[in-house]
Structure 1
Amino acid sequence: MGILKRMKEDMDVVFDQDPAARSYIEVFLTYSGLHAIWAHRIAHFFFKRNLLFIARSISQISRFFTGIEIHPGATIGRKFFIDHGMGVVIGETCEIGDNVTLFQGVTLGGTGKEKGKRHPTIKDNAMVTNGARVLGNITIGNSSKVGAGSVVLKDVPDHSTVVGVPGQIVVKNGEKIRKNLDHHKLPDPVADRCAHLQEEIDALKEEIAKLKEVKQNGNNDL
């Protein structure tokens, strides 16, 4: 595919994903996620040819202007979309498939100083939403979703949704574990656990109050 056709495809993705996009000239001039992707392609070209300083320089210039940091070594497929991309970080050994969407503040990072493949693999049609952290050499499966603010440290199967800290799978193989699962209404397993613990605490308080009452009545009888 030629450069101009690829750029046109990238802008078409914006119209598919963002209802606020109104014209090609607006998208071309004002969408920082688009600019970061285009800059990355140039940086990756030099990185593959071992011109590492040039590649890294282009990456850092792009980071300065867009607020999005993509290491020039990352491998990114077609129709990649970054929505409101400020704070997005994509590590060197990341592999991102086709039709992937990232939102503001997403980190695709490592977990330490290990060598080799140390960043996530995001398969086709996946979505990682606001502020999520996907860390280490793990895989987010085809058509899977990571909920806002989640921290994912383990593989996520295809067609699954994961939320929470640490991430917990709430949808698997297209079957909803929780009902009414919407992008803006993802369940929170941590909050659910806290609510369950609060119920147990309330029950214990009630039992203690009953025991105190029994004890006081026993003393009065004496």
Structure 2
Amino acid sequence: MSRTKLHRVLNELLQPQVIPDGCPNGLQIEGKDTIYKIVTGVTASQALIDRAIELNADALFVHHGYFWKGEDACLTGMKKQRIASLLKHDINLFAYHLPLDVHPSLGNNAQLAKLLDIQDIENLESGKLSIALKGRFSSALTPQALAQRLQDVLGKSPLLEQVPKPLISTVAWCTGGGQKYIDLAASQGIDAFITGEISEQTIHSAREMNIHFYAAGHHATERYGAKAVGEYLAEQYGLDVKFVDIANPA
């Protein structure tokens, strides 16, 4: 597939124009004109780039790319090394941040819901495209049972701030660094909130608003969108796509 067509396919699929973001979404670094092999992953780290080079990839597709709002624009140090590696090997870099979080079937939030068997999914935020989602479990879970489900699915033991509420029927979630949505979830009477990261104030919100809180890992909760998009490209267009998971405890 040509680079131009792949870019068009991804933009039509992920609709980056719909949601404001803190980085450019789409083709961030131009490489080969024709793409045969794609490597997908969470973050365009040097380790992922090196693996893409080893696999003779023509393109990288990631959730966390480059050129974030407010960052130093100079190409020095780690940033220079990463970009130099991509340019030297003529590898295209496609990155989609929030558009990959919110896609209704392939996105990080949708994929996590599928893995956790969450039903009746709705937007947590009203009146606009919601980054965070809410739903319910078919059968109520104890806080410990949900922690175990997260560990079984993600391969990582979550941090749990448990409150006196004995069972969890309703749940809200936002993969990655979505801890700020706990207050909105609690205000809607939801039993538990799952995200990737934790802030100091998150614990106080959980305790004082009576909502179980789970920090299950930024990387761990966001492995599944890029993987799902790669599988879609392989199935729909016959492209050779490989997901590479660079371990990250955060």
Q: TM-score, normalised by structure 2?
A: 0.26
Indicate the structure whose relative CO is greater, using CA pairs within 8 Å and at least 6 residues apart. Answer: 2
The TM-score with structure 1 as length reference comes to 0.28
